[in-house]
């Protein structure tokens, strides 16, 4: 065990955000399988295509866990590496409206992350830590204060020792950085992780994939099954290298098109403008990010900010609650309580869709041509909150504990049986 | 401090269901204000009618907390006296279908309660404990293993030393046991609590009211305001007697009628029979109890049991999710995870309504004449999950903790500041 050089650690444990983690006894790898609805695993398993995942499920632990709300990538990845919910770390979306400045904020780095990550805490306690993400904006967030290796597949060719703790990543992995709209973006993350497992043997390794495949393909589509095969082979490789492996997802994935293939979308901004006057209610789609080609910034959760003093929140709540396709509309305090979101990172109203329906701002705000005729598949709602929770070792399973995806490091490090 | 005579206690604390409670330093009273949606308090406070509650909110703690799902009386009362969620104590409704026996079970006593209550634990550790409920079936559940006083307003005239730890309750309170369909049923509970505070000074006192008034009257109705005044006066009396007081609710309350006053009801059993064949899907309304006059066994949550092997759960889920008025339909494992319900006490599918809509079994199963022309007001859904959480003393408020109504005893006993 390495010497400790940090207040977080007493040589045997590292405490961060109120949770005390045991020091890893073997290379401990968490894969955040972006958008991996449990149905993807079920479909591939039934087709006999994922022997390594099946083996983990048989001899380790196979459960389901709740993702954080809203079920988007950033809040959940940050929750997993912090080991706590969004009300602690402050990240509630990819995109938000800052009430203090009156400006829209796109999350492109770690600035909205206001809790330490367990990756940084372990690295500062002397552990060898690796974080690899599909997209670089997430690497910047998860790499906060990390004294180790952190890079993205997207910007693999730009990685440097100074910025990322490692250079020449393409040479290391043996191929070029993949296109950001490709299944290979995720496979590159896993291959880079395998290479580092073989070479530097990190104590803690976090591998965060992309949901490009799941946005485009249903669980039984050949392309989805092919992707599951490719991921499974890489998980097998990691297991053969002696890794203790945990797999969770940041969110599930739902089909949001009708029988004719047309996306089922409620354009809330248009409806609100019509009911209350143009611009009185501002709709924020927190799924918005620079990579919209596979979902058109459409998901199952939006936020409303009331922009005029003459708008009564009760009237807006009543109106929104009765729009077909809306499951739940909550004022800020109730949304924060129910979804464990920080008060200053929530809208005046949070709106959750029913399964199979997307919530948008205005029709003009979403470019559906980006879907290229594919069925809309997306996430964000309560109905994509249940995700796989699989570990390569048996872990304590308390049936009365509401398992969360952000319990995965704790389970791997502390709850082996 | 009394001598300890029980393994639960080390003379200073009592541990039950994994939570360690400090011994009460003054008479500690929790009022479960049945059906007290936060709006009742807001309305009465704005009208200047509840000075004692306002004083508590000003100088103590005034927050909101989440009730347990489904938001019915029994799961929440049992959660509050056990200090934990329904997956620990097993009570998930007033009425359920026992999959093992194939029979409907009406909860009329403590037999479904499979965790110790903190009332029993404190009583066995030597504390003087009092539990008074509106209805007797709940008294039987909450009085499980209680070595103290436990009786109901409903059966006040039947209370005996042997069964209830006290007799002659009507004489003690100074009036007859009230009608079970009356506001006075709740006031009798409070008056009995006051009398016992004056005489026996219990260490722990739990007072559970009835939601008769809230089912019949909206927050600004004169009858609701009048009831708030009567409750507030009694809370003031308890404070003047030196009680440390905490107030929570078991659930909120929503109007479920349209502009014309007609109840908005989705009769799921009828729709399922039509879609899948008669009797293939069994709908259970867990709000059902012998006291249906104020809600007609209609609430915002029902369970579906699949009664035929040829029914595919996926088809039923898809069908139910697209019924207007349904917010969420979850298979058992997801419902148990999301709502912290025990696996054997959940249906094959759990269905949650949108705000303002009731879910029923068949039209023939519900006697709407029981409403006597009043608007339907009820609960059961996610939208009645947010309830008041008020204490007479300042308590630690951790903004990152998802406060639950069943934290109230812990807050009063352990978190005074």
From residue B260, give the alpha-carbon distance in Å to each of A289, B257, B297: 44, 8, 21
Whether residue A48 is predicted with pLDDT greater than 70 in this model: the reply is yes
Residue-wise pLDDT for B374-396, tens only, equals 899 999 999 999 999 999 999 99
Helix axes A222-240, A184-199, angle to 10 degrees: 10
pLDDT at A194: 98
Residue B311, burial from CB neighbour count under 10 angstroms (0-12, 13-18, 19+): middle
pLDDT at A256 > cutoff 60: yes
How confident is residue A99, by pLDDT bands cut at 50, 70 and 90? confident
Burial of B372 from C-beta contacts in 10 A (0-12 / 13-18 / 19+): exposed
Higher pLDDT, A293 or A31: A31
CA distance A16 to A27: 19
Q: B400, A66: Cβ pair inside 8 Å?
A: no
Q: Are residues A140 and A280 in the same domain?
A: no
- The two three-digit tokens of residue B97, written as one number: 């279908």
Check CB contact under 8 Å for A403 and B328: no
**What pLDDT is attached to residue A1?**
34
The CA distance from A90 to the nearest CA of chain B, in Å, is 10
- Strand-pairing partners, residue B61, are B391
Q: At B415, give phi and psi (nearest 5°).
A: -115, 20
- Count of domains observed in chain B: 2
Contact: B340, A400; criterion CB under 8 Å: yes
**Tokens representing residue A261 in the block:** 């293939």
Do A328 and B333 lie within an 8 Å CB cutoff? no
Position B200 confidence tier, pLDDT thresholds 50, 70, 90:
very high
Of A386, A302, A246, residue with least CA distance to A92: A302
pLDDT value at position B6?
34
CATH number of the domain encompassing residue B164: 3.40.720.10
Residue A223 Ramachandran class (φ > 0 left, ψ -120 to 50 alpha, else beta): alpha
Q: In the predicted model, what is the mean pLDDT of residues B219-235? A: 98
pLDDT at B145: 95
Q: Are B153 and B192 in contact (CB under 8 A)?
A: yes
Give the residue-averaged pLDDT of B35-49: 98
Q: What gap in Å lies between CA A30 and CA A202, rounded to an integer? A: 12
Q: Is residue B258 part of a domain?
A: no
Residue A5: its pLDDT value, please?
33
- Give domain status of residue A16, yes or no: no
Distance CA B167, CA B150 (A): 10
Q: What are phi and psi of A43, to 5 degrees?
A: -65, -45
Pair B31, B118 in one domain: yes
A33, pLDDT greater than 90: yes
A chain contacts of residue B340, beta-carbon cutoff 8 Å: 400, 402
CB nearest to B87's CB, from A324, A328, A400 = A400
Helices B222-240 and B51-59 meet at what angle, rounded to 10?
60
Q: Quick one: residue A156, left, alpha or beta (phi over 0 = left, psi -120 to 50 = alpha)?
A: alpha
pLDDT at A284 over 50: yes
Report the alpha-carbon distance of residue A38 to residue A42 in Å, rounded: 6
Percent of chain B whose predicted confidence (pLDDT) is above 70: 96
CA distance A23 to chain B (A): 26
Interface contact B337-A402, CB threshold 8 A? yes
Using CB atoms within 10 Å of the CB of residue B151, give its burial: 0 to 12 exposed, 13 to 18 middle, 19+ buried. Answer: buried
pLDDT at A6: 34
B366 & B409 share domain: no
Q: Which of A93-97, A204-208, B361-365 has the largest mean confidence?
A: A204-208
Q: How many residues does chain A have?
A: 417
Peptide bond into A292 cis (omega under 30): no
Per-residue confidence (pLDDT) for residue B11, from 0 to 100: 62
Cβ <8 Å between B333 and A382: no
Q: What is the mean pLDDT of residues B258-277?
A: 97
| Listed residue (B77, B304, B34) closest to B91, CA to CA | B77
User: Hey, are the CB atoms on B338 and A66 less than 8 Å from each other?
Assistant: yes
What's the residue count for chain B? 417
User: Looking at chain B, which residue has its C-alpha nearest residue A330?
Assistant: B383
Any domain includes A27: yes
pLDDT over 80 at A58, yes or no: yes
What is the average per-residue pLDDT within B195-218?
97
Same domain (yes/no): A41, A120: yes
pLDDT digits (tens, 9 = 90+) for A182-194: 999 999 999 999 9
Can you give the pLDDT at residue A4?
Answer: 34
Confidence of residue A102 (pLDDT cuts 50, 70, 90): confident
Q: Distance (Å, rounded) from C-alpha B177 to C-alpha B192?
A: 11
The closest of A338, A286, A232 to B68, measured between CA atoms, is: A338
**B296 in any annotated domain:** yes
**Residue bearing the bigger pLDDT, A362 or B106:** A362
**pLDDT score for A292:** 59
Task: Name every residue whose Cβ is closer than 8 Å to that of residue A382 and which is 6 or more positions away in sequence.
Answer: A69, A71, A300, A327, A328, A352, B328, B338
Contact residues on chain A for B341, CB-CB shorter than 8 A: none
- Report the distance separating Cα A164 and Cα B82, nearest Å: 50
Cβ of B326 within 8 Å of Cβ of A355? The answer is no
Chain B residues with beta carbon closer than 8 angstroms to that of A322: 354, 356
Place of tokens 């990390």: A146
**Out of A374-378, B148-152, B292-296, which region has the weakest mean confidence (pLDDT)?**
B292-296
The whole-number pLDDT of residue B7 equals: 39
Distance from CA of A152 to the nearest CA of B (A): 31
The minimal CB distance from A338 to the residues B321, B322, B385 is found for B385
**Both A341 and A393 in a single domain?**
no
* Continuous segment of H or E residues that includes residue B151: strand B149-152
Collect all residues from B whose CB is shorter than 8 A from any CB in A. Answer: 64-66, 84-85, 87-88, 321-322, 324, 326-329, 333-334, 337-338, 340, 342-343, 354-356, 382-383, 385-386, 399-400, 402-403
Average pLDDT over residues A47-68: 97
Mark whether A199 and A82 lie in a shared domain. Answer: yes
8 Å CB contact between A374 and A298: no
> Per-residue pLDDT tens for A63-87?
999 999 999 999 999 999 999 999 9
Tell me the pLDDT tens digit for each residue of A202-226.
Answer: 999 999 999 999 999 999 999 999 9
- In this structure, are A361 and A405 located in the same domain? no
pLDDT digits (tens, 9 = 90+) for B269-284: 999 999 999 999 999 9
A302-351 residue pLDDT tens: 999 999 999 999 999 999 999 999 999 999 999 999 999 999 999 999 99
Contact B399 A343 (CB under 8 A): yes
d(CA A192, CA B180): 69
Q: How far does B329 lie from chain A, in Å, by closest CA?
A: 9
Instruction: Compare CB distances from A328 to B338, B382, B399 and report the shortest one's residue.
Output: B382
**Helices A38-46 and A222-240, interaxial angle, to 10°?**
90
Q: How does DSSP classify residue A376?
A: P
**Which of A264, A324, A386, A404 would best serve as a mutation to test chain B binding (most B beta carbons within 10 A)?**
A386
Residues B303 and B173 reside in one and the same domain: no
Question: Number of A:B CB contacts under 8 A?
Answer: 79
DSSP state string for A1-30 = -PPP-STTB-SSEEEETTEEEEPPSS-EEE
In a domain, A12, yes or no: no
**What mean pLDDT is predicted for residues B155-182?**
94
From chain A, which residues contact B within 8 Å (Cβ)?
Answer: 64-66, 84-85, 87-88, 321-322, 324, 326-329, 333-334, 337-338, 340, 342-343, 354-356, 382-383, 385-386, 399-400, 402-403
Read off the pLDDT band of B10 (50, 70, 90). Answer: low
**Among A290-299, B36-45, B277-286, B313-322, which is the least confidently predicted range?**
A290-299
SS3 call for A404: strand
Nearest CA in chain B to A67: B338
Task: Identify whether residues A161 and A298 lie together within a single domain.
Answer: no
* Residue B12: predicted pLDDT: 86
What ipTM was assigned to the predicted interfaces of this complex?
A: 0.93
A324 vs B contacts (CB less than 8 Å): 324
**Can you tell me which residue has the tokens 């089909």?**
A255
Average pLDDT over residues B309-322: 96
Q: Specify if B103 maps to a domain.
A: yes
Give the best residue of B382, B398, B404, B406 to mutate against chain A (max A CB count within 10 A).
B382
Enumerate the H helices of B100-158 as residue ranges.
118-124, 136-142
What is the full DSSP assignment across A180-228?
SSSTHHHHHHHHHHHHHHHHT--SEEEEE---HHHHH--TTSHHHHHHH
Task: Judge: B355–A321 Cβ closer than 8 Å, yes or no.
Answer: yes
Q: How far apart are CA B378 and CA B73, in angstroms?
A: 11
Q: Regarding beta strands B301-306 and B349-353, do their DSSP bridges make them parallel or antiparallel, or are they unpaired?
A: antiparallel
Tell me if A135 sits within 8 A of A250, measured CB to CB: no
Q: Residue B91: which of B286, B265, B255 has the closest Cα?
A: B286
Q: Residue B290 has what DSSP assignment?
A: S
Give the pLDDT confidence score for residue B397 in this predicted structure: 81
Calculate how close chain B gets to A233, using CA atoms only, in Å. Answer: 29
Residues B119 and B228 in one domain: yes
- The enclosing domain of A303 has a CATH number of 3.30.1360.110
DSSP string, B203-246: SEEEEE---HHHHH--TTSHHHHHHHHHHHHHHHHHHHTT-EEE
Average pLDDT over residues B314-338: 97
Q: Taking phi first (over 0 means left), then psi (-120 to 50 degrees means alpha), and beta for anything else, what does residue B56 get?
A: alpha
Residue B72 sits in the same domain as residue B161: yes
pLDDT interval class at A294 (50, 70, 90): low
- Say yes or no to pLDDT of B249 above 60: yes
Chain B contact set for A84 (CB, 8 A): 400
Residue B1 has pLDDT above 60, yes or no: no
- How close, in Å, is residue B334 to chain A by CA atoms? 7
Contact call for residues B240 and B72 (beta carbons, < 8 A): no
> Could you tell me which chain A residue has the CA closest to the CA of B320?
A355
Q: Which residues of B touch A252 (CB under 8 A)?
A: none
- Using the predicted structure, report yes or no on whether residue A59 has a pLDDT greater than 70: yes
Burial class (CB in 10 A: 0-12, 13-18, 19+), A171: exposed
> In this structure, is residue A35 part of a structural domain?
yes
Summarised one tens digit per residue, pLDDT across range A142-181 is 999 999 999 999 999 999 999 999 999 999 999 998 998 8
Q: What is the DSSP letter of A354?
A: P
Q: Range of B337's domain?
A: 265-378
Give the one of A321, A340, A343 whose C-beta lies nearest to B356's C-beta.
Answer: A321
- Domain assignment present for A7: no
Q: Do B327 and A322 touch (CB under 8 A)?
A: no
In angstroms, the separation between the Cα of residue B356 and the nearest Cα of chain A is 9
Tell me the percentage of chain B whose pLDDT exceeds 90: 85
Burial of A41 (0-12, 13-18, 19+ CB in 10 A): buried
Contact flag B400-A321 (C-beta cutoff 8 Å): no
A208 closest CA partner among A90, A117, A112? A117
> Both B40 and B58 in a single domain?
yes
């Amino acid at each position: 065990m390495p010497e400790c050089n940090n207040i977080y650690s007493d040589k045997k444990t590292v405490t961060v955000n109120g949770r005390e983690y045991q020091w890893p006894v073997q290379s401990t790898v968490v894969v955040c399988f972006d958008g991996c609805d449990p149905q993807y695993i079920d479909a591939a398993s039934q087709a006999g295509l994922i022997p390594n995942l099946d083996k983990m499920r048989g001899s380790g632990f196979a459960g389901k866990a709740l993702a954080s709300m809203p079920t988007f990538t950033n809040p959940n990845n940050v929750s997993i590496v912090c080991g706590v919910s969004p009300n602690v770390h402050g990240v509630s979306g990819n995109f938000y409206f800052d009430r203090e400045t009156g400006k829209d904020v796109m999350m492109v780095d770690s600035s909205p992350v206001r809790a330490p990550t367990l990756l940084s805490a372990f690295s500062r306690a002397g552990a060898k830590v690796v974080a690899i993400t599909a997209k670089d904006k997430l690497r910047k967030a998860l790499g906060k204060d990390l004294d180790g290796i952190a890079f993205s597949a997207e910007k693999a060719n730009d990685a440097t020792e100074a910025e990322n703790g490692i250079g020449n990543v393409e040479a290391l992995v043996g191929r070029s950085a993949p296109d950001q709209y490709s299944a290979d973006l995720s496979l590159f993350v896993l291959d880079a992780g395998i290479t580092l497992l073989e070479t530097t043997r990190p104590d803690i390794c976090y591998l965060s994939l992309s949901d490009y495949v799941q946005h485009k393909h249903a669980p039984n589509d050949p392309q989805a099954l092919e992707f599951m095969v490719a991921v499974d082979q890489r998980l097998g490789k990691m297991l053969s290298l002696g890794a203790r492996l945990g797999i969770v997802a940041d969110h599930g994935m739902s089909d949001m098109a009708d029988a004719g293939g047309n996306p089922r979308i409620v354009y809330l901004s248009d409806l609100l403008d019509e009911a209350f006057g143009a611009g009185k209610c501002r709709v924020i789609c927190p799924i918005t990010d620079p990579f919209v080609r596979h979902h058109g910034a459409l998901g199952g959760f939006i936020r409303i900010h009331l922009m005029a003093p003459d708008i009564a929140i009760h009237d807006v709540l009543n109106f929104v609650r009765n729009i077909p396709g809306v499951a739940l509309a909550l004022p800020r305090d109730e949304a924060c309580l129910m979804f464990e979101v920080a008060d200053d990172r929530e809208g005046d109203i949070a709106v959750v869709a029913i399964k199979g329906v997307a919530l948008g701002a205005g029709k003009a705000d979403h470019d559906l041509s980006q879907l290229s005729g594919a069925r809309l598949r997306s996430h964000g709602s309560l109905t994509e909150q249940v995700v796989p929770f699989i570990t390569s070792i048996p872990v304590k399973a308390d049936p009365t504990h509401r398992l969360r995806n952000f319990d995965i490091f704790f389970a791997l490090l502390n709850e082996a049986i």
